[in-house]
Structure 1
Amino acid sequence: MAENNSPVAATEEEEIAAPVENSQPAATPSASATAPEPTSPEPAPAASTPAPPAAPNARLNGDLGPDLSVVSDDEPRKEVEGGRSYEITYIVVANNPEALESAQKGVKALIDEAGGAVDNTRVSEVRRLSYPIAKRTEGIYVVVNARFQKDLTEPLERFFKLEENVLRHIILRVEA
């Protein structure tokens, strides 16, 4: 077999002979004596600021940021017959605290009346919008994970269109 002197390419024999990272180390004393000691990471410069903590349950909408708060009911998960899982995201005007509460109550009431179940609700703090919507530059993002029948999507769409404090909304079906 011809030998490849290129530092980048490895032969099949070298790949097979290379140790696997997750394999158990040999129990011989010589193997432990030759193993390099782990080096401690160098401390960050004092001028840098620490990164904010990761947001809980930011699986689908990780871009909402560290100011994400999660509100979920402690009651057991309600079974919805023939229901599908949906993710409802909407943006509420930032300068009116009653608008947020009103929108949340309206969505929860519609889902409860239709026999659905709200699994959890994530609410962000006031965020700057990337472009103005209805002459507004800030909004509060709300993400609701719920299960309900397909025929509830039209009343939810109507609710969001009529609710003047909701700037944008989207209803997505989540594949299980």
Structure 2
Amino acid sequence: MNHYETVFIATPVLSDVQVKEAVSKFRGVITENGGQIISEEDWGLRKLAYPIQKKTTGFYYLMEFTGEGDIIEKLETQYRRDERVIRFLTFKMDKYAVEYAEKRRNKNTAKQE
């Protein structure tokens, strides 16, 4: 099993319900194809570095998961088909990135408590 991290940016004209619906759709794509979600982070509405499709803001969402290599092709196909997604990035994490992500998650949970 490989570790992956994916971030997608949803269009800012969506309501919170529509963003959560999109997230559950992509979560379903991962789990239906044998993947296991490790963590999720909703970064909320943020300003984009440059305009994309004449939009200057977007809803950012990060998911860290494990799975086989073919899961990425299926996930990115769903990103491309969904008109709510304006950008996405998925990458395979090496062992150092996995360690860093674990430290970051532990730090965030310590702050919340």
Pairwise TM-score range, normalised by the shorter structure: 0.7 to 0.9
TM-score norm. by structure 1 comes to 0.51
Aligned to 1:84: 2
Paired letter, 2:38:
D
From 82, 99, 104, the equivalent of 1:163 is 82
- Displaced runs of 4 or more, over 4 A: none
From 20, 23, 36, the equivalent of 1:117 is 36
The CA RMSD over aligned residues, in Å, is 1.1
- Structure 1: gaps of 5 or more residues: 1-82
From 96, 101, 106, the equivalent of 2:14 is 96
Higher-Rg member (1/2): 1
Matched, 1:174 2:93: yes
Q: Give the deviation of 1:94 after TM superposition.
A: 1.8
Work out the percentage of aligned pairs sharing the same amino acid. 26
Q: Report how many residues are paired.
A: 94
- Structure of greater relative contact order (alpha carbons < 8 Å, 6+ residues apart): 2
Q: Give the deviation of 1:135 after TM superposition.
A: 1.2
Q: Give the deviation of 1:144 after TM superposition.
A: 0.4
From 46, 50, 65, the equivalent of 1:127 is 46
- Structure 2: gaps of 5 or more residues: 96-113
Higher strand share: 2
Higher helix share: 2
Aligned to 1:146: 65
TM-score norm. by structure 2 comes to 0.78
User: For residues 20-69 of structure 1, what are the alpha-carbon distances to aligned partners after superposition, in whole Å with 9 as ceiling and x for unaligned?
Assistant: xxxxxxxxxxxxxxxxxxxxxxxxxxxxxxxxxxxxxxxxxxxxxxxxxx
